DNA sequence: AAGCCTTGACTGAAATTTCAGTTCGATGGA
DNA sequence: TCCATCGAACTGAAATTTCAGTCAAGGCTT
């Protein structure tokens, strides 16, 4: 697990967080990982390969930390669970910052690089599903399509808030408050037919 | 108006939409504009100059098309106006695509480049204000801070939906529907105290 | 066990490519 | 004459990619 290959992927994550996907220089990565540039080509073929694998790596890691959430909350409190899962992404912890930054870069890069889109779509889909399910538990009266739509809105909003936070236009606490309010608004009774 | 300088700026906008700010190559720009590379340096000094002027150019253009919105809708229909203004940003028109793409690039770049943040914060602030005011008209019963928060949520959501659209993970019509629903949800009666 | 071969991880240095930016002589219109 | 423009050849720096070869571990053969 902690072989050089993985070290390189970890280092790549750090470099991406610092410089962005498009700012990643193979040599800077080599220095960061404490290996030669050649080793990087040995393992990943080319720069694009590094990027591809790193994005997979980040995705896996994000799955893992989303999976180990929810320290046994009250099973009745589905709404609390929902809040927790979403707010997990708005925290000033190195790992969260890394994942959010990398995720934002991935999204932004995908606008210009169709190669990245498939992986992105897959991850997004999984995430939206997960949130939709939590919404279903928090609001058993609602329909599945309504939950799916709300999940798309909440995750898209979270992405929007996240970039604003990371780009310094929105203080973390404020972002968290807006997200909590959005959940409240989505779960409010008397949802209108649109 | 249609001098070469402006041609170059228009071409730069197209190139940025295609390749991103960081993917803009001076020579590709020259080809796109149908001019020599020397002319670009003659007019803009260096690549950074091109970028600076192009972003100004895009901003001005965006202001213009936001200003000429609302073809005299019914003055009672504030909610309709709000919908229109927001949905303006989710349209498959070259100009809108260009502006949204450039905006997304700006946001994404600001994560790694603090220099861009001020301009960004200013523009965001203006925009949020404008939306908050429309919310105030659509929902006179609500308080100003509540409108401000809702405006932040709606604009952040719009940014999130916009990147998903541009990165090909969300069909345009679906994005528009989600946004309309979000407006409906925000304007629904019985907003909870959070 | 001694020698030999293979393989996978790894390196340093150098080749190659890619870009921004420069220079300069020439051209044609106001 | 001045200005905008072209074009094509260059430079220099930065970044990517290749390559020949080292090293250590593991097995196979005799």
Mean pLDDT estimate for chain B: 88
Task: Report the gap between the CA of B77 and the closest CA in chain A (Å).
Answer: 16
Contact A20/B112, CB-based, under 8 Å? Answer: yes
Q: Is the CB of B116 under 7 A from strand C?
A: no
Measured N-to-C along each axis, helices B26-33 and B4-19 cross at an angle, to the nearest 10 degrees, of 120
Contact B185/A181, CB-based, under 8 Å? Answer: no
Domain ranges in chain B with CATH number 1.10.357.10:
69-194
Spell out which residues of chain B touch residue A163, defining contact as CB-CB under 8 Å: 107-108, 111, 159
Report pLDDT for A194. 46
Is pLDDT above 60 for A99?
A: yes
Report pLDDT for A55. 85
Strand locations in B104-191 (E)? none
User: pLDDT band at residue A36, thresholds of 50, 70 and 90?
Assistant: very high
Contacting A residues, span 95-154, partner chain B, CB-CB under 8 Å: 101, 104-105, 107-112, 114, 117, 120-121, 124, 149, 152-153
Whole-angstrom distance, CA of residue A54 vs CA of residue B18: 24
Which nucleotides of chain D does any protein CB come within 7 A of?
4-9, 14-20
Q: Which of A1-5, A102-106, B171-175 has the lowest mean pLDDT?
A: A1-5
User: pLDDT band at residue A69, thresholds of 50, 70 and 90?
Assistant: low
Report pLDDT for B122. 85
Closest CA to A167 of B61, B25, B135, B159: B159
Report pLDDT for A74. 62
Report pLDDT for B68. 65
> For the residues B48-54, what does the mean pLDDT come to?
91
Report pLDDT for A132. 95
Contact A157/B156, CB-based, under 8 Å? Answer: yes
Whole-angstrom distance, CA of residue A85 vs CA of residue B118: 31
Report pLDDT for B28. 95
CATH 1.10.10.10 fits B69-194, yes or no: no
CATH 1.10.10.60 fits A1-53, yes or no: yes
Fold of A69-187: Tetracycline Repressor; domain 2 (1.10.357)
Give the chain A residue nearest B18 (alpha carbons): A112
Q: Is the CB of A52 under 7 A from strand C?
A: no
- Report whether B184 contacts A177 (CB < 8 A): no
Domain ranges in chain B with CATH number 1.10.10.60:
1-54
Report pLDDT for B112. 85
Contact B20/A112, CB-based, under 8 Å? Answer: yes
Domain ranges in chain A with CATH number 1.10.10.60:
1-53
- Report whether B157 contacts A156 (CB < 8 A): yes
Domain ranges in chain A with CATH number 1.10.357.10:
69-187
Task: Report the gap between the CA of A101 and the closest CA in chain B (Å).
Answer: 8
Q: Which of A65-74, A95-104, A147-156, B4-13 has the lowest mean pLDDT?
A: A65-74
User: pLDDT band at residue B120, thresholds of 50, 70 and 90?
Assistant: confident
CATH 1.10.10.60 fits B1-54, yes or no: yes
């Amino acid at each position: 697990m902690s072989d050089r290959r993985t070290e390189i992927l970890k280092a790549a994550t750090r470099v991406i967080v610092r410089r962005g996907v498009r700012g990643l220089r193979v040599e800077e990565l080599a220095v960061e990982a404490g290996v030669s540039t050649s080793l990087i080509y040995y393992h990943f073929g080319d720069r694009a390969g590094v990027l591809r694998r790193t994005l997979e790596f980040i995705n896996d890691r994000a799955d893992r930390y989303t999976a180990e959430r929810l320290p046994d909350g009250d099973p009745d409190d589905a709404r609390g669970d929902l809040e927790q899962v979403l707010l997990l992404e708005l925290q000033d912890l190195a790992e969260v910052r890394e994942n959010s930054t990398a995720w934002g870069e991935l999204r932004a890069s995908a606008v210009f690089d169709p190669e990245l889109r498939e992986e992105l779509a897959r991850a997004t889909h999984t995430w939206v599903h997960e949130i939709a399910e939590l919404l279903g538990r928090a609001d058993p009266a609602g329909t599945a399509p309504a939950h799916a739509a709300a999940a798309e809105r909440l995750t898209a909003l979270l992405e929007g808030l996240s970039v604003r936070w990371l780009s310094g236009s929105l203080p973390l606490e404020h972002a968290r408050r807006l997200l909590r309010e959005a959940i409240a608004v989505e779960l409010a009774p008397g949802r209108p037919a649109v």
